[in-house]
Amino acid sequence: MKKLGLFYIALLLIIVYLSNWSLAQEQTQEHFSEGAKMRLGKGRINDIKFSPNGRWFAVSTAIGIWMYDAHTGEELSLIAVLPGEGRDVTAMAFSPDGRILASGELGGVGRLWDVTTGKPIVTFKEVPGPRYPDLRALVFSEDGTKLIGASWDNKIRVWELGENTKPPIILHIGGRQASWSTITLMQLSPNGNFLAIAEPSAQTWKNKNFPIKLWDATTGKQLDTLTGHTRWVKSIAFSTDSKTLVSGDEYETIRLWDTATGKLKATLNWKRGTTTYALAFSPSGRFMASAHRDGAKLWDNTVKPKQQTDDALGDYQHTLEFLGHKDHVSKLIFSPDGKTLLTGSKDGTIQAWDTATGNHRFTCTGHLEGIKGLVFSQDGNTLISLNKPFNPRGIVQRHQWNTNTGQLLSTDFLTGSRGPTPMAISLNGKTVAARSSGGRCSLWDLTTTPPQVIDRFSLDGFPKDGLNVRMAFSVDGEMLATGGEDGLVHVWNLIESQKIRHRFTVNGHNHWLGTLAFSPDGKMLASGDEDRTLCLWRVADGTLLFTSTAHKAWVAAVAFSPDGKILASGGNEIFFWDTATGTQLRPNRRKLSAQISTLVFSPDGSTLVAGNWDGILELWDVRTGGLLSTHTGHTRWINVLKFSPDGRTLVSSSFWDGTILVWDWETLKKTGNR
């Protein structure tokens, strides 16, 4: 009788959502606000799952779930969480009959989707807890009558599925402190009985002991602590029968564990310091796959005779290697019949491989992440984006887009750029300033193929492991401002050979810098820090023109009006300043929905555009200081805003959701939603 619950749900959906929509024929529908013309990029890859019949595979991203044809790689549809309703889709699971897809989101929201119609069936909003208790793992029970979810707030939730889905049964994981960190690994076993958690802490780093804790997902009680890894555990996966757990760490080993006893079954010791970023078993258990910086490896337990070599893990023998990605492989999944392996990479692609021959089958593109900079060509027809993936940090990528059609024109990589992170790009798109660990920085020439390092420089006295570097080019590209955790602001000249020379250093901050910006004429420089201090400097001699602590918290963004007469600063509030007198203009007392992350004035100076941490675009009237409208299209942190040279197009990018939105400015400013 329990199995009838899902049947009734599916039947109800067919009646309620009758339409001529079909998964194989429906064109992708975009989900964003009025005024947005197109989206560039599909969002970063969070999870990949095959449908039980092997016809499709789903890719969860920061903007929704993309459905692909599993035989051709053709993009079929986008099942999107509506703007303002949800965030990153962090986990997925297909029901045993393949009719329903469950998704878990950042924010703790869970949903059931009808795979045939792409419509939501049920939304689980009963999840209490912190602001972002995201669901990290989901699995259906074997009979399809229950959905089990695990989240980082120490809870396992069990939803009974039927005609009237009730609030979940909540099991508390005892003896563990909640952590929102993305480095926490959580995996539910396919049968829903086990939960494995690998989570580094200060103690594990100190002792060089990185345990994996195994929990009973039906009771919430801890079963075992699996010890042996001496380096950070980067990947874990259960076998389809849930009897085996495999774990891989940073540089050292891959280990097989017996889930019933917690005993170590086999160990592979890497000889070349190889990091294992993802692991997966084929449904039959014959194959295991491991993902690395240089590609993926296939392991087969049917090879005879068994060879106990450096490339053997118990009965699993290394047989094939899949090379073709330009960056780390971070996701792996086998098709239900085990004949295909999908590899998802930080290079923005998903590639399909034949497990029998190793032959490449197809490539799906467009899954970007870590966007750091945008710049238009002089005619406005081309947009250049720079991005660098995170967790793990990958290679800097440059993409060129046609802003009229949305077509991706080209992709290349900054050679040898695995360490540096792009922090600023000149307005003409020719030069990039980047930083690596500590205070080491570099300039890159983007006019060469591939891009080359022009010069290197360092921020003296900068903490060795400091990450909080800020950089900004002047409008003419002839100056660069830099700053970091020590609160010092450095100004540099770029001479004719594009080499960089230090000009002066000023000190007006006691905490790390949150933002830097030159005025349009290059005569002033604004800086803001985490301790609510805003400074305005004269670039000619480094004189401090004015300083303010009016902000109640971090000054996260600054921007000058086109004529340089007004300075806007944003954090938990927005202020307008007269740059000639240092006085505050038009106090803004409106409470913001989220912290401001980036600011830009419209070309005519009448409107201030703000992007915030919740992915919302806000338009402010510069004359009155009032809020004109809000627009949702991104799901998280908007970090770059740019106008085209003719002022007709605005582009916004989100570092976290990995997409760029192209807005029609005339339509956007006429839309009065709030």
The domain locations on the chain are 1-36+44-175
Share of the chain above pLDDT 70, in %: 87
The predicted-structure confidence for 594-615, as pLDDT tens digits, reads as follows 899 999 999 999 999 999 998 8
Alpha helices in 91-221 (DSSP H): 202-207
Token pair in block for residue 437: 């660990």
Q: How confident is the model at residue 2 (pLDDT cuts 50, 70, 90)?
A: very low
pLDDT at 68: 97
Q: Do residues 500 and 480 lie in contact, with contact meaning Cβ atoms separated by under 8 Å?
A: yes
* Distance in angstroms (rounded) separating the CA atoms of residues 428 and 475: 9
Mean pLDDT for all residues in the chain: 86
The predicted-structure confidence for 556-586, as pLDDT tens digits, reads as follows 999 999 999 999 999 989 999 999 999 999 7
Token pair in block for residue 447: 């006019």
Q: Is residue 392 reached through a cis peptide bond, with omega within 30 degrees of 0 on the bond before it? A: yes
* Distance in angstroms (rounded) separating the CA atoms of residues 432 and 451: 10
Q: How confident is the model at residue 465 (pLDDT cuts 50, 70, 90)?
A: very low
* Distance in angstroms (rounded) separating the CA atoms of residues 601 and 606: 7
Handedness of CA 134, 640, 435, 462 (dihedral sign): negative
Q: How confident is the model at residue 485 (pLDDT cuts 50, 70, 90)?
A: confident
* Distance in angstroms (rounded) separating the CA atoms of residues 411 and 413: 7
Per mean pLDDT, which range of 31-40, 231-240, 314-323, 637-646 is the poorest?
A: 31-40
pLDDT at 6: 44
pLDDT at 182: 55
Q: Do residues 342 and 333 lie in contact, with contact meaning Cβ atoms separated by under 8 Å?
A: yes
Q: Do residues 394 and 388 lie in contact, with contact meaning Cβ atoms separated by under 8 Å?
A: yes
pLDDT at 32: 62
Range list of β-strands (E), 357-478: 360-364, 371-376, 382-387, 397-402, 408-413, 421-425, 431-435, 440-445, 452-458, 470-473
Q: Are strands 169-172 and 110-114 parallel, antiparallel or unpaired?
A: unpaired
Amino acid at 233: V
* Residue keyed to tokens 């009006």: 561
Amino acid at 546: F
Cα distances (Å, whole numbers) of residue 560 to 566, 643, 670: 6, 14, 23
pLDDT at 537: 97
Per mean pLDDT, which range of 132-136, 280-284, 492-496 is the poorest?
A: 132-136
- Main-chain phi, psi angles of 666, to 5 degrees: -60, -40
Q: Is residue 305 reached through a cis peptide bond, with omega within 30 degrees of 0 on the bond before it? A: yes
Report the pLDDT averaged over residues 329-355. 97
DSSP designation for 231: S
Task: Name the nearest CA neighbour of 539 among 476, 487, 490.
Answer: 490
Q: How confident is the model at residue 418 (pLDDT cuts 50, 70, 90)?
A: low
Indicate left, alpha or beta for 348 from its phi (over 0: left) and psi (-120 to 50: alpha): left
pLDDT at 575: 94
pLDDT at 177: 58
The predicted-structure confidence for 243-274, as pLDDT tens digits, reads as follows 999 999 998 899 999 999 999 999 998 877 88
Per mean pLDDT, which range of 158-162, 212-216, 406-410, 580-584 is the poorest?
A: 158-162
pLDDT higher at 202 or 190:
190
- pTM of structure: 0.89
Judge residue 624's burial from the number of C-beta atoms within 10 Å of its C-beta, 0-12 exposed, 13-18 middle, 19 or more buried: exposed
Q: Do residues 651 and 399 lie in contact, with contact meaning Cβ atoms separated by under 8 Å?
A: no
Q: Do residues 519 and 579 lie in contact, with contact meaning Cβ atoms separated by under 8 Å?
A: yes
Report the pLDDT averaged over residues 403-417. 83
pLDDT higher at 671 or 264:
264
540 CB-near residues (< 8 Å, 6+ apart): 523
DSSP designation for 419: S
Token pair in block for residue 377: 């060509």
Whether 141 shows a pLDDT value over 90: the answer reads: yes
pLDDT higher at 448 or 609:
609
Q: How confident is the model at residue 148 (pLDDT cuts 50, 70, 90)?
A: very high
Q: Measured in Å, how far apart are the chain's first and last C-alpha atoms?
A: 48
Whether 335 shows a pLDDT value over 50: the answer reads: yes
Which range scores top for mean pLDDT: 165-169, 377-381, 520-524, 634-638? Answer: 520-524
Q: How confident is the model at residue 20 (pLDDT cuts 50, 70, 90)?
A: very low
Report the pLDDT averaged over residues 84-95. 79
* Distance in angstroms (rounded) separating the CA atoms of residues 299 and 289: 6
Which range scores top for mean pLDDT: 162-171, 215-224, 392-401? Answer: 215-224
Share of the chain above pLDDT 90, in %: 55
* Distance in angstroms (rounded) separating the CA atoms of residues 549 and 555: 9
Q: Do residues 79 and 55 lie in contact, with contact meaning Cβ atoms separated by under 8 Å?
A: no
142 CB-near residues (< 8 Å, 6+ apart): 96, 191, 192
Q: Based on DSSP, count helices (H) and strands (E) in the chain, helices before strands.
A: 3, 57
Whether 443 shows a pLDDT value over 60: the answer reads: yes
Task: Name the nearest CA neighbour of 365 among 658, 24, 31.
Answer: 658
* Distance in angstroms (rounded) separating the CA atoms of residues 594 and 598: 12
DSSP designation for 164: S
Task: Name the nearest CA neighbour of 60 among 83, 87, 84, 82.
Answer: 87
Number of neighbouring beta carbons within 10 Å of residue 369: 26
Whether 23 shows a pLDDT value over 70: the answer reads: no
Token pair in block for residue 256: 């097989």
Whether 21 shows a pLDDT value over 50: the answer reads: no
Q: Do residues 453 and 442 lie in contact, with contact meaning Cβ atoms separated by under 8 Å?
A: yes
The predicted-structure confidence for 195-216, as pLDDT tens digits, reads as follows 999 988 778 888 889 999 999 9
pLDDT at 632: 86
Amino acid at 330: S
The predicted-structure confidence for 638-650, as pLDDT tens digits, reads as follows 999 999 999 999 9
Per mean pLDDT, which range of 343-347, 492-496, 620-624 is the poorest?
A: 492-496
Q: Do residues 228 and 267 lie in contact, with contact meaning Cβ atoms separated by under 8 Å?
A: yes
* Distance in angstroms (rounded) separating the CA atoms of residues 228 and 225: 10
* Distance in angstroms (rounded) separating the CA atoms of residues 559 and 570: 9
How would you list the strands of the sheet with 360-364, edge to edge?
Answer: 329-334, 340-345, 350-354, 360-364
pLDDT at 589: 62
Q: How confident is the model at residue 107 (pLDDT cuts 50, 70, 90)?
A: confident
* Residue keyed to tokens 């595979």: 57
* Distance in angstroms (rounded) separating the CA atoms of residues 598 and 568: 10
DSSP designation for 668: H
Token pair in block for residue 103: 């998704």
CATH topology of domain 1-36+44-175: Methylamine Dehydrogenase; Chain H (2.130.10)
* Distance in angstroms (rounded) separating the CA atoms of residues 170 and 149: 10
